[in-house]
Amino acid sequence: MIREILKMGDPRLLRIAKSVEDIHDPALEPIIADMYDTMHAAGGVGLAAPQIGVDLRLMIFGFDTNPRYPEAPPVPATTLINPWLEILGDEREEGWEGCLSVPGLRGLVPRASRIRYGGLLEDGSLVTREVEGFHARVFQHEFDHLNGVLYPQRITDMTSFGFIEALASESDHA
């Protein structure tokens, strides 16, 4: 079922989400299914549970190709429960981000270039990955949602934040 995506300004997006206590809770499966329906309907590359008003540390992301990020390499479809993040090294890079909770806008956001992350998959198994570039960016963006942080708070140069149609020529070359 496609759910309403909360928009920036909604206080529910600012909460520190709660850990999932019971991975086998039957309530999780329909929430995850709704998250995929909602993400696909909106054409997004990721979605965190707080964005549909669910106060849990739960995120999904992944795509083969996506018109919002035409030059991005594929990221495997992943559901993560109670994820964790470790930043590897000091390297940072800037890249364009949008967010389904901040419709119509884009910004140039500095992120760690290389990270290790992990969490529980839907079947309860543990996964750990070392990733870089856009995959690392997508994870960091979704992970931020679980801590009540939206990408505009990460922007350091506000001249690179604006409406997609106004930024189009610039972001096409990013």
Catalytic (active-site) positions: 142
Which residue, 20 or 109, has its beta carbon nearer to Ni ion? 109
Instruction: Output the CA–CA distances (angstroms, integers) from residue 2 to 15, 35, 45, 53, 93, in the order listed.
Output: 22, 8, 15, 13, 33
Candidates 20-28, 29-37, 74-82, 95-103; binding stretch for Ni ion (CB under 5 A): 95-103
Q: Which amino acid, residue 28?
A: L
Q: In the complex, what is the shortest distance from the CB of residue 99 to Ni ion, in angstroms, rounded to a whole number? A: 3
State yes or no: residue 99 binds Ni ion (CB under 5 A).
yes
State yes or no: residue 120 binds Ni ion (CB under 5 A).
no
Residue 110 and residue 131 in contact, taking contact as beta carbons nearer than 8 Å? no
State yes or no: residue 5 binds Ni ion (CB under 5 A).
no
Which residue, 80 or 99, has its beta carbon nearer to Ni ion? 99
CB atoms within 10 A of CB 96: 20
State yes or no: residue 45 binds Ni ion (CB under 5 A).
no
Name, in order, each residue with C-beta under 8 angstroms of 41's C-beta and a sequence gap of 6 or more: 2
Q: In the complex, what is the shortest distance from the CB of residue 135 to Ni ion, in angstroms, rounded to a whole number? A: 15
Q: Where do we find the tokens 């390297």?
A: 91
Binding residues for Ni ion, rule: CB under 5 A, are 99
